[in-house]
Structure 1
Amino acid sequence: MDEHDLIAQLESVLSEGTRKFRGIAASVLNDPEAFIRGSNSETCERLDASEPTLIRFCQAFGYRGTSEFRIDLALAHARDRRGLSAVEPLHQDRRLVNVAQKMAIADAAAQRVSSDRHLLIDSGSTAEIFARALCNSPGKTIMTASLMVAQILMDQGQHDVLLTGGRIRSEARSLTGQLIPQSLSEFHFDTFVMGADCADPGSGLSTFDEDEAVVTRALMGSARRVNGLMDQSKFGEARLHKVCKFDALDCLITDLAETSQITSELRQSGANVVLVKPALSASQ
């Protein structure tokens, strides 16, 4: 489902749904942030509903489960519809969706940096999968602002892992703040592997958080190459804080279709688009 229609669909349930679904829809509309940020168990306790009922509610809107539903709900609010403020999707929800697509993107990205000795890696769910794709890579010096990425790389054993420093964003398990640009001044990396909250062919890459936009631009300036990793779910309306245009990337690796209008628009904007296809056997 297009997240732009989700709020209207929720409102229709108030008059057309079952009693239980009407109650869930009313709670989502009245306190969307609690639904987006709450775990399944917390939401079920608050709504006096079972987890299977909550999952069936999300599936009624065309989603596989609660994670996809919460992400689209957050994105719908990020458009600032009807006075609702933006709520960033939870990182654990991002981690659970489009896994096969992110694996294909990460594998292609890992091949592109196979000869690099010094890497910068962004935070986010795709960055974590990219880090796992380096498990058989020769040892590299890798700096990251992500605590999760750092842990994955340290577990592999062969890499020299550095953290950027900065203030911890507990929900995202990442670092942010002005200490990051300061720490980067002493380094120069071969490639920065980055993601984005949102990618729009016209306006470029953007994010929910102002600090993240500043940090990402600093990371981009510390590497000779910038490779963007974005599955097709990231393409949509721009968020408030601009990061960069697509022509600032050396390549954009994505699972968009060759025939997609977005692919055509990206190439017209100057992006070097590299298309991948997820393995059919990969986990969804």
Structure 2
Amino acid sequence: MLTSQRKQLILEALKRDGQVIARTLSVEFDVSEDTIRRDLRELAAEGQLQRVHGGALPASPAAVDFAGRERIESASKAEIGRAAAGMITRGQIAFIDGGTTAVQLARHLPRDLRATIVTHSPSVAVELAEHAELEVIMIGGRLFRHSMVNVGAAAIESLSHIRADFYFMGVTGVHPQAGLSTGDMEEAYVKRALVERAAETVVLASAEKLNAASAYKIADVSAASTIVVERNTPEMLTKPFEALGITILRA
């Protein structure tokens, strides 16, 4: 069997089963585990999968920068944002993450809502500039341009002084075993700090992020009390999370 054929079969197994195990593949293809590990390394370098101990998981396709993501699936992101915005009520304090779906959340907050929004996203802060009843607290730090959020020690230190009712989290991967993940280490640290300072974490996740993984883990999936998904997201993608006691809110 040609290497290209074997790689294609690995990707098909990954899509079908949601994960692959190197030892199982070596038996199935009658090759060494070293050969399978090399295949997995090469596929990971191409962004086709995310390697984990003993095998691989589907890679999140959410690697496009902020400007590129703004042009993709805007309708579904708007629906997720609208549903999440409806969870914030008068007098509450909410962390809103960075990312294009978070901007949609901010865009759908009622103009007469009296609440406090804390964000490390300049894009979210600008979106809320005309909401006169909202108190908007901007967390500073180094600007991570890919996601248009502030990161670093200064951001984490600022967050340590705030307690919120909700944290609306953006991710690139949501997986029952691999947890909540993202593609940048510093961004993961800030998201972890936000989880720790919020009473409840709500994950905003379009379908392609479910059962996928990125390189940097934020927290176990159990850190999320609710996952907001598109209305037509297949049940096979959401059932593993419902089995863990996580609420699935269909936008």
Q: TM-score, normalised by structure 1?
A: 0.64
**1:184 equivalent in structure 2:** 159
| From 237, 245, 250, the counterpart of 1:270 | 245
Conserved 8 A contact 2:112-2:131: no
Which residue is equivalent to 1:159? 134
SS across alignment from 1:155: coil
**Residues 116 and 105 of structure 1, relative CA distance in 2, 3 Å threshold:** farther
> 1:75 Cα shift?
10
Are 1:114 and 2:89 counterparts?
yes
Quick one: which of 143, 165, 170 aligns to 1:195? Answer: 170
User: Unaligned stretches of 5+ in structure 2?
Assistant: 1-6, 9-43, 52-60
* Number of equivalences: 202
Confirm whether residue 91 of structure 1 aligns to residue 91 of structure 2. Answer: no
Q: If each structure's helix is expressed as a fraction of its own residues, which one has the higher value?
A: 1
CA RMSD, 1 decimal: 2.7
Which residue matches 2:150?
Answer: 175
2:86 aligns to what SS in structure 1?
A: helix
Q: 1:87 and 1:109 mapped to 2: Cα distance?
A: 20
The alignment-based identity, stated in percent, is 27
User: Alpha-carbon deviation of 1:168?
Assistant: 1.1
1:131–1:149 CA contact under 8 A, matched in 2 = yes
CA deviations on 1:105-142 (whole Å, 9 max, x unpaired) are 11111111123421111000100000001143413221
The AA in structure 2 aligned to 1:222 is R
Match of 1:204 among 173, 179, 183: 179
Structure 1 78/115 Cα, relative in aligned 2: closer, same or farther at 3 Å? Answer: farther
Question: Which residue type is aligned with residue 244 of structure 1?
Answer: A
Work out whether residues 222 and 246 of structure 2, in 8 Å CA contact, stay in contact via their aligned partners in 1.
Answer: yes
Shift of 1:178: 1.2
Aligned to 2:79: 104
Give the letter aligned to residue 168 of structure 1.
L
Instruction: Judge conservation of contact 1:201–1:262 (CA < 8 Å) in 2.
Output: no
1:148 counterpart = 2:129: no
State the Cα deviation string for residues 15-65 of structure 1 (Å, max 9, x = none). Answer: xxxxxxxxxxxxxxxxxxxxxxxxxxxxxxxxxxxxxxxxxxxxxxxxxxx
CA distance in 1, matches of 2:146, 2:205: 21
Q: Which residue matches 1:248?
A: 223
Whether the 8 Å CA contact 1:142–1:160 is kept in 2: the answer is yes
**Separation in 2 of the partners of 1:225 and 1:75?**
35
Question: Which is further off, 98-107 or 118-127?
Answer: 98-107
Q: 1:76 to 1:99 in 2, by over 3 A?
A: farther
SS for the counterpart of 1:247 is helix
Q: C-alpha separation between the residues in 2 aligned to 1:247 and 1:146? A: 25
User: Is 1:217 the counterpart of 2:216 in the alignment?
Assistant: no
Does the CA-based 8 Å contact 1:227-1:251 persist in structure 2?
yes
Secondary structure of 1:194's match?
strand
Show the 5 A alignment for 1:23-172. Answer: 77=47, 79=49, 88-172=63-147
Aligned to 1:232: 207
Is the 2:62–2:209 contact (alpha carbons within 8 Å) kept by the matching residues of 1? no
State the AA in 1 paired with 2:64: P
**Are the counterparts in 1 of residues 181 and 217 from structure 2 also a CA contact under 8 Å?**
yes
Query: 1:204 and 1:162 mapped to 2: Cα distance?
Result: 29
Structure 2 counterpart of 1:126, one-letter code: T
Once residues 113 and 218 of structure 1 are traced to their aligned partners in structure 2, the CA distance between those partners, rounded to angstroms, is 20
Partner of 2:27: none
Deviation at 1:201, TM superposition (A): 2.9
In structure 1, runs of 5+ residues without a counterpart are 1-6, 9-73, 277-284
Using structure 2 for the length normalisation, give the TM-score: 0.72
Q: 1:258 Cα deviation (Å)?
A: 6.6
Using the TM superposition, give the Cα deviation of residue 87 of structure 1 relative to its aligned residue in structure 2, in angstroms: 9.8
1:104 Cα offset (Å): 1.4
More strand by share: 2
Give the superposition deviation at 1:210.
0.7
